[in-house]
């Protein structure tokens, strides 16, 4: 894999204005909503830019549509292609279909089935190939050489950057006195566009990028002074799991972005849970990176008007299930205990009776007899249950102590 080079000039503010004129009737102007809860939790005045409510569930459709709309007649006749495991795929498929252009999207075989289904539903021909995104990318490049189809890059393209920059124009229209805008960074197309737009409108607005700690390609690149390729990326935030920025997005970030921050998977998961629970906003891990940086105090934002961009909501159901499970457990509203009891009738009922008395709702029960850690004549029972409030677990454990049961609380 090599750094993606695009010899085109970096887009200007006027390009973003042109993109907005074109996109106005195509994409949604997404809400900018003040959050009382997150303002109180962070000490900042927090406004959420909800691109998870955008058509196709993320900001990606903005750049994809603007890119495809600017193709020549000859290019349109040959169609477009993309390589993506998620949001970019859906954005390209939707935009191409809307413009009457044939699209082919290459996705790795591990791509979440729901995202594959959605991409096909938006009108693209989906080709599943390879175990990694890089495999899909190479297959797409090979297809492009043979077919002549135009490759729609996910971030390192002036039209893509200009299209994404319309998010910045909207933020300024919705909150003129904004102090800081925090933006998730994968390849850097979104933050590059937003930075070009907002620094032109008001140079005092701070633009802050946020990466996953398992995919810090932009931060490492800026520190080194040139685009760097990471050997590997590891994060639940697949939407920003990018090994290297492109030359255009790197240059804009280096020149216009004020600060680069990092959040970890646990912080993103917890933030996604809180957004769902407190604000009823469904997001994906990559989409909450900026909000996680605010909540976990990665930089001083106290008393400032800040806008974290919630960049997408296309979450994998398996990840959502884990986030919810860990979230309710962290709040003390769900617990999991492992109890060793004699393998006799009525022993399990004695535990369940305690839960019933406390009006705890049993979520799951597992039995284990066959492992060497369980003595003969005993059974290890793992019970997961929901509680009314976080004070109930100590009471339950006291009841188990009274009965002389061996147990441990699983975290």
pLDDT of residue 369: 87
Q: For the chain, how big is the Rg over CA atoms in Å?
A: 25
Q: DSSP per residue over 306-342, as a string?
A: EEEEE-B----HHHHHHHHHHHHHHTTSEEEEEEEEE
pLDDT of residue 294: 98
**Residues 99 and 119: beta-carbon distance below 8 Å:** no
**Residues 332 and 381: beta-carbon distance below 8 Å:** no
Strands 180-184 and 206-212: parallel
Nearest to 275 by CA among 261, 262, 291: 291
Which stretch of DSSP H or E encloses residue 350? helix 347-357
pLDDT of residue 135: 83
Question: Which residue in 84, 217, 221, 311 is the catalytic one?
Answer: 311
Question: Angle 13-23/158-174 helices, nearest 10 degrees?
Answer: 80
In the chain, the domains with their CATH numbers are 13-57+158-324 (3.40.50.1100), 61-151 (3.40.50.1100), 333-410 (3.30.70.260)
List of residues 6+ apart from 402 with CB closer than 8 A: none
Question: Which residue in 35, 42, 58, 60 is the catalytic one?
Answer: 60
- The answer to whether residue 402 is catalytic is no
pLDDT of residue 1: 61
Average confidence (pLDDT) per 10 residues, the chain, 411 residues = 85 98 97 98 98 97 98 97 91 98 93 88 95 83 94 96 98 98 97 98 98 97 96 92 95 98 98 96 97 98 98 93 92 91 88 88 90 89 91 89 89 80
Give me the residue label for tokens 């205990």: 337
Strands 378-386 and 361-368: antiparallel
- The answer to whether residue 311 is catalytic is yes
For the question of whether the overall pTM of this predicted structure is more than 0.75, the answer is: yes
Cα of 19 vs its chain's centroid, Å: 25
Nearest to 175 by CA among 193, 201, 210, 196: 201
């Amino acid at each position: 894999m090599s750094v993606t080079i695009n010899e085109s000039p970096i887009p200007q503010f006027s390009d973003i204005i042109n993109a907005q004129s074109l996109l106005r009737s195509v994409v949604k102007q997404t809400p900018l909503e003040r959050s009382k809860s997150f303002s109180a939790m962070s000490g900042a005045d927090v406004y959420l830019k909800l691109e998870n409510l955008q058509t196709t569930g993320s900001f990606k459709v903005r750049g994809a549509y603007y890119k495809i709309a600017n193709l020549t007649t000859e290019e349109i006749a040959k169609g477009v292609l993309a390589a993506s495991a998620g949001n970019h795929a859906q954005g390209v498929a939707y935009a191409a279909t809307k413009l009457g252009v044939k699209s082919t999207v290459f996705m790795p075989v591990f791509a979440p089935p729901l995202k594959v289904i959605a991409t096909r539903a938006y009108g693209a021909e989906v080709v599943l190939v390879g175990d990694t995104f890089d495999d899909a990318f190479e297959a797409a490049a090979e297809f492009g050489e043979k077919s002549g189809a135009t490759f729609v890059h996910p971030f390192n393209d002036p039209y893509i950057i200009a299209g994404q920059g319309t998010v910045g124009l909207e933020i300024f229209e919705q909150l003129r006195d904004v102090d800081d805008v925090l933006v998730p960074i994968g390849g850097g197309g979104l933050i590059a566009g937003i930075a070009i737009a907002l620094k032109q409108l008001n140079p005092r607005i701070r633009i802050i990028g946020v990466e996953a700690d398992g995919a810090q390609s932009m931060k490492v690149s800026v520190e080194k002074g040139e685009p760097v390729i990471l050997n590997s990326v590891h994060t639940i935030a697949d939407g920003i799991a990018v090994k290297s920025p492109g030359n255009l997005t790197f240059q804009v970030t280096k020149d216009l972005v004020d600060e680069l921050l990092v959040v970890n998977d646990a912080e993103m998961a917890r933030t996604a849970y809180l957004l769902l629970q407190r604000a009823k906003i469904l997001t994906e891990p990559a989409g909450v990176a900026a909000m996680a940086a605010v909540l976990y105090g990665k930089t001083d934002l106290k008393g400032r008007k800040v806008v974290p961009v919630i960049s997408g909501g296309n979450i994998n159901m398996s990840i959502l299930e884990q986030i919810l499970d860990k979230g309710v457990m962290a709040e003390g509203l769900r617990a999991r205990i492992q109890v060793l009891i004699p393998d006799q009738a009525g022993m399990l009922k004695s535990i369940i009776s305690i839960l019933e008395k406390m009006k705890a709702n049993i979520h799951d029960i597992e039995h284990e007899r066959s492992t060497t850690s369980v003595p003969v004549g005993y059974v290890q029972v793992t019970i997961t249950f929901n509680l009314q409030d976080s004070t109930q677990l100590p009471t339950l454990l006291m009841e188990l102590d009274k009965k002389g049961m061996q147990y441990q609380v699983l975290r």
